[in-house]
Every structure is written in C-alpha cells, then in structure tokens.
Structure 1
Amino acid sequence: MSIKDKIESLLFIAAKPMSIKQLADLINQPESEIKKAGDELEEEYKSNKRGVQIIKNGSKYQMVSSPDNARLVQEFIKDETTGELSRPSLETLTIIAYRGPITKSDLDHIRGVNCSLILRNLLIRGLIEAKSDKKGETYYNVTFDFIRFLGINDINELPDYEKLNNVESISIALSSGNEIEKNKRNLFGDAIDGEGNN
C-alpha cells in the first residue's frame, strides 16, 4: 500500500485535521515524503471533483465534504443534531460517560466500528467535549450539561459506575450487551425505544 493510500485511510477515519508530523509518525515515513504525498492527494481530489475533498491548512490535512454539496450536508447535519439520539449514539455516549476520558481509538475498539460521525454529532449537541494532551492525543468526556441533564451532581453517581469504569469491565459488558443495555435504559429511559440504527 502506498503512502498516499495510507494517508487517505487515516484522514477518512480521523475526526479532526491531522498534522504532517502525526501522519509521519503513524506511517513511519519522513515528513518530507508525507508532505509530498499529501499535496499530491489534495490535488487528485480537487481535479477529480469528488463528493469529498482533502484540504490543507498550514501543516495539517483534513478530509471534508465538497462545498458543492454544502446545502445537502447542512440539511443532514441539522436532522442528525436536532432529532432523537440513535441507539449507536446512546451506546457511545454511555461508554464515554462510564469510561471517559477516552480516546477515539479506544471507543472504536470497544464498539467495533468507526465512531467519527457519532462523536461529531455528540460534540455538536454539547453532550461531550474533546481535549488534547501534550502529545496531541484527543480524549473525549461528557460535559457538565450532560451531567446536569441526568440530574446528578457527579459522574460517580451513575448506576454501577465503579463496576463499569474500566476497559475490561465495559468490554465484557458490551460483548454480552446486557449491562450496557441496562445502563442505557437507566440513563435515558424511553428515549432509546423505537429508534433507528444510525
């Protein structure tokens, strides 16, 4: 697989812009080679008039939707961020509540799917927040608004918090489905009934 292919894959799953240094570290190639391949990829997307583009801002690249589809994308985002939360969104939010602060890669591993769009949705709704450490790793946690919405004063007051506040326990619970489903219902009640799968 070429450097361009690897950059394309990483930008696709990333929920935020990625720097040349980050890409170089992950792909294990010199920054000069990453920049060359990234610039070529940017031009390829631009010339082929695809529904998505790769943009560059300083030393960072990001995959975004085409400006030509801005209205369609805005309508979709509006529907996604004003309607009820889907089951996958509630499941992701439950995991963040019990396991946060947590990285996207850990979330993806626990759920077994790419959580980029769900995280973006939850961020827009103000239910979670993202913070980066000194190494540039992003961690997700629930917001104070989310805690107030649940009517509790501290995240430790969540049902079975001590039991589920570690990777092993929540992974086991997720694999069985019973504990996560029970705690989704404890947290959100009837909001999860009758919802779709997106």
Structure 2
Amino acid sequence: MTAGQDTAGATGTAGPQADGAAGADGARTGAEPALRRDLEAVLMVVDQPVAAFDLARGLGRPLDDVAAALEELAEEYTRQDRGFDLRQVAEGWRFYTRPECAEVVEHFLKEGQEVRLTQAALETLAVVAYRQPVSRGRVSAVRGVNCDGVMRTLVLRGLIEEAGQDPESGAHLYRTTSYFLERLGLLSLDDLPDLAPFLPDDIEGIDETGEHTT
C-alpha cells in the first residue's frame, strides 16, 4: 500500500482513531491500523482462502476484531476502486483480481509481453506435460516446492487447463492445452521426447497430496 492510504492517519494524529470514527473520505475506520496492516501482509502471501478464525489465531487477535477489520478492508478497496478486492468465499478470505480487470490481466499474461517463461514455470510445465492429468500436489512434490502460483500463471497463459478431479482424493487435475502443442510445434503429446529417465525414481510413490505412500 502506498503512503497516505491508511485512513486511520487521515486526521494527522499518531494513534488509531476511536472506534467508528470517520477518515478523510468519510469512511468508518474503527479497526486498529496495525491489525489492518498485519492482515494485508498475511493475505498478500497466502495461496488459498483463509478463515477469519485462522487469521485471528495466527495473529493472536480477537476474532471479532479480525472479522470487523476484514469487512472494513473489503469495503475500502471497493470504494477506492482498486484493481483487486478482498473477497470472502466458502473457505475464507483472499485477495482477488477485480472482475473488471480480468480481461486486461489475461491479455498481459498471454499476449502483452513476450518474455520467456521462468525456469520454475518451464519445470512445472514439463511435469504437467509428462504426468498429465496431474494434481498441483503431485507437481509440487516432484519439484520439491509449492507450485500453486506458477500453476495459476500457466493456466492464465493458456498452456494448461483443469481436467476434472481425481475420483479418490478429490484433487483438481491439470493437463496441457492445444495451445501448448501449438507453441511447441507438436502434433500430439506422443511427439514429446522421452523424459522418463530424468524423473524421480519414486514418483509413483507420491500421492495426490504430495506425500510419499508406504
């Protein structure tokens, strides 16, 4: 967040405003500035929605205070017409790209830049290509790091797509797209070079959650 966007300091005082006080734009700013800051910091790095209860426990704050601060932040981002919003879904709270910006974000990721894929993206794409349909958990297990963010980028770039759910674990499965074949100049996945010798020997012993099975 840029300087001056914390409405709690709009009056020029050093401490937090009284509960329910109005900021410079007339909005309620009852939440403690430090709590708002901490919530933003945590929500910026999570890979999935987080419940208010888990946020309260992790920050060591009362649940009512956290819930109120989340509501205030969500209203503030909407009022300021930010490019993102703070949304509550069934699993909890998370930052999302505002729907009005979806088209420009997709254009930027797919066509607006001609940069090469990062090494992490290339490795992730290779795992999906050779193990598809495959879950994010298995991809992360093969690479040894969390691949959720990279997977989302590959989806937005049209290189991979969802391919249903695993009937046993319920995990979302992913596969490469026809655009992937087009970019690589392949007629089908059968034209991919043999990569089996380079994959971990115990890959078949990894379940859909990324854990080794016995």
TM-score by length of 2: 0.47
The aligned counterpart of 1:192 is none
Is residue 145 from structure 1 mapped to residue 179 from structure 2 by the alignment? Answer: yes
Tell me whether 1:132 sits opposite 2:146 in the alignment. Answer: no
> Unpaired runs of 5+ in structure 1?
21-35, 171-198
Kindly name which structure, 1 or 2, has the bigger radius of gyration based on alpha carbons: 2
Check whether the contact 1:41–1:54 (CA below 8 A) recurs between aligned residues.
no
Equivalent in the alignment of 2:193? 159
Question: Alpha carbons of 1:98 and 1:164: their partners in 2 closer, same or farther (altered >3 Å)?
Answer: farther
Whether 2:110 is the aligned partner of 1:81: answer: yes
Paired position in structure 2 for 1:63: 94
Cα distance 1:125–1:100, how it changes in 2: closer, same or farther (>3 A)? Answer: same
In 2, Cα distance between equivalents of 1:53 and 1:114: 24
The match for 2:125 is 93
SS for the counterpart of 2:202 is helix
For the Cα contact (< 8 Å) 1:127–1:145, is it kept in 2? yes
Structure 2 alignment gaps of length 5 or more: 1-38, 52-63, 205-214
By percentage of residues, which structure has more helix? 1
Secondary structure of the 2:46 match is: helix
Inter-partner Cα distance in structure 2 for 1:75 and 1:145 = 20
More displaced 10-residue stretch of structure 1: 74-83 or 129-138: 74-83
TM-score norm. by structure 1 comes to 0.50
Percent identity for Structure 1 against Structure 2: 24
Give the alignment partner of residue 143 of structure 2, picking from 104, 111, 123: 111
CA distance in 1, matches of 2:175, 2:105: 25
* Aligned residues: CA RMSD: 4.6
1:111, distance to aligned residue in structure 2 (A): 2.5
Q: How far apart, in 2, do the equivalents of 1:116 and 1:41 lie?
A: 27
Instruction: Tell whether 2:46 aligns with 1:46.
Output: no
- Higher-RCO chain (CA-CA 8 Å, sequence separation at least 6): 1
Question: Contact 1:81/1:121 (CA < 8 Å) preserved in 2?
Answer: no
- 3-state SS, counterpart of residue 94 of structure 2: strand
Q: Which runs of 4+ in 1 moved over 6 A?
A: 38-41, 73-76
Match of 1:12 among 34, 42, 46: 46
